[in-house]
Amino acid sequence: MLFCPYCANGLTIGDREDSTDKCWVCPTCPYQFIIERQVCHLQEAVMGYGLPANLCDQISMRTHLKRKEVDDVLGGKEAWANVDKTDTACPKCDHRRAYFRQMQIRSADEPMTTFYKCCECGHQWREN
C-alpha cells in the first residue's frame, strides 16, 4: 500500500486528469503519481528527500504475511484459561454449571456473543 507524501492518506488507482495514463491518486489532496514511470519517479523522490538509496528495493519487494490460525484469532486453548462460571444448563448433558466468555464478533451495534463450555462434559455452545 502506498501513502501520500503530503497528507499520509492511502493512495488509490485512478486516471490522470490530463491523459489516459493510470496513476496513484490521493483522495484528499491533488497529489498524483504516474504508475508506468513509478520506479523512475520513486528513485528521484528517494534521492530528493535524502532517504536511503536501497529504499526503492525495499518498497518494490513484496512481503508475504503469515496467516493466523483460526484458533489464534478466536483465542484457541488459552481462551478458556481464566474465565468465570455461571448457572446455565448444558444442552448435551444437562449439567447446571458452565464456563462463559463474551466476544464482539458482529458489528458494534449488535450485542456481544456469549460462548459457553460445560464444566462437566466440555461441550461448547454459544448464544447471540
Find the helix or strand (DSSP H, E) in which 105 lies: none
Q: What is this structure's pTM?
A: 0.42
Residue from 121, 70, 78, 69 nearest 101 by CA: 78
Instruction: Tell me the binding residues.
Output: 4, 7, 26, 29, 90, 93, 118, 121
Give the model confidence (pLDDT) of 81-122 as tens digits. Answer: 788 899 999 999 999 999 998 888 888 898 999 999 999 998
> Residue ranges per domain, the chain?
12-60, 70-127
Residue 38: which residues within 8 A CB-CB, separation 6 or more? 24
pLDDT digits (tens, 9 = 90+) for 14-24: 876 666 777 88
Share of the chain above pLDDT 70, in %: 63
Q: Which CATH class is domain 70-127?
A: mainly beta
pLDDT digits (tens, 9 = 90+) for 51-85: 555 555 555 545 565 666 665 555 666 777 788 89
Annotated binding site for Zn(2+): 4, 7, 26, 29, 90, 93, 118, 121
DSSP per-residue letters across 11-63: PEEEE-TTSS-EEEE-SSSS-EEESTTHHHHHHHHHHHTT--TTHHHHHHSPP
